Amino acid sequence: MDRVSFKEIAKQYKAIFVDSYGVLKNHNGLIEGVQPVIDQLRDEKKTIRVLTNDASRSQEQQVEMFTSLGLSGLKDEEIITSGMLARHFLELKVKTGKIAYLGTPNSAGYFLQYGLEPIPVADIDLDNVDEIEAFVFLDDEGFNWEEGINKTVNFLRRKNLPIIVANSDKYYPISKNDVAVAIGGISRLIESVLSQKFIRFGKPDSQMFMYAFDDINKTGLFTKSDILMVGDTLHTDILGGNKFGLKTLLVLSGNTRPESVEMKINSSGIIPDFISDSILT
């Protein structure tokens, strides 16, 4: 598949959806040269949304993170996280009571700002679980893994309730060579032990794209053919964009490397509409 220029392709669309890691930033920080590309998209009046499988930070905290890395000008409402979708689900399905979670107090704080009471797994009394109405996998930090995982298993064996995975990624990169297991990976361990499937949020699920699509249609008039989805990962960004009916552009500046892109497309059957080396092209 030929490489194309991202900037040329982008001209044909009214809205650009971009993944965060691998497109805007990598393990070193901001990808050099991204700022002028984003600025140019704004000059061309493109509508932009960043779609990220990250449930540990609020929109405000995401913007602060980008600012600290050196990318200015992103607005809170341009960030769409899998955590927002999970919270939206909870607001609709659970009106009162406590929500147990694995994650940091910060992730629970922003996640449950609308009245539900968060309770970390460590604080659950297994002999008194009546008031807990849902369970959320939020973040891989904020708890002792051995204690937290085992207590979660035993809590979920005791009570049937909605179980939500706010970030479905299995792992995330932390350096050029290394990754860390994400809360989505931990949730799979517990699914395997319980022989259950939990409710997952985040790409490639259609809900994330639907949310972004509905969101941009609040201030404009967009059809699916007006939107280009840009990402570095076949199984999340490209599969999800394809399935939702968007045109998709794979960049090779993140998880998918130039030397293996063809093999990965062939073996997965997930085919982007376009491939660019990065959004700098």
Query: Contact 114/158 with Cβ under 8 angstroms?
Result: no
Question: Closest distance between a copy of itself and the C-beta of residue 147, in Å?
Answer: 9
Query: Contact 247/274 with Cβ under 8 angstroms?
Result: yes
Determine, following the binding rule CB under 8 A, whether residue 12 of this chain makes contact with a copy of itself: no
Question: Closest distance between a copy of itself and the C-beta of residue 15, in Å?
Answer: 15
Based on CB atoms, which residue is closest to a copy of itself, 110 or 135? 135
Using the rule CB under 8 A, give the single segment among 32-40, 66-74, 101-109, 266-274 that binds a copy of itself: 266-274
- CA 171 from chain centre, in angstroms, equals 12
Backbone angles phi and psi of 127, in degrees to 5: -90, 0
Using the rule CB under 8 A, give the single segment among 45-53, 62-70, 98-106, 237-245 that binds a copy of itself: 237-245
Residue of 3, 42, 224, 257 that binds a copy of itself (CB under 8 A): 224
Is residue 65 within a helix (H) or strand (E), and if so which, with residue range? helix 59-69
Taking the C-alpha atoms of residue 52 and residue 167, their distance in angstroms, rounded to an integer, is 9
Beta-bridge partners for 275: 3, 250
Interface with a copy of itself: number of residues (CB under 8 A)? 60
Interface of this chain with a copy of itself, residues 77 to 96, rule: CB under 8 A: 88-89, 92-93
Interface of this chain with a copy of itself, residues 175 to 214, rule: CB under 8 A: 177-181, 185-186, 188-189, 192-199, 205-207, 210
Taking the C-alpha atoms of residue 86 and residue 57, their distance in angstroms, rounded to an integer, is 13
Using the rule CB under 8 A, give the single segment among 5-13, 44-52, 64-72, 159-167 that binds a copy of itself: 159-167
Question: Closest distance between a copy of itself and the C-beta of residue 20, in Å?
Answer: 20
Write a three-state SS string for 122-169.
Answer: HHCCCCCCCCEEEEEECCCCCCCHHHHHHHHHHHHHHCCCCEEECCCC
Question: Closest distance between a copy of itself and the C-beta of residue 185, in Å?
Answer: 5
Residue of 48, 65, 69, 271 that binds a copy of itself (CB under 8 A): 271
Burial class (CB in 10 A: 0-12, 13-18, 19+), 134: buried
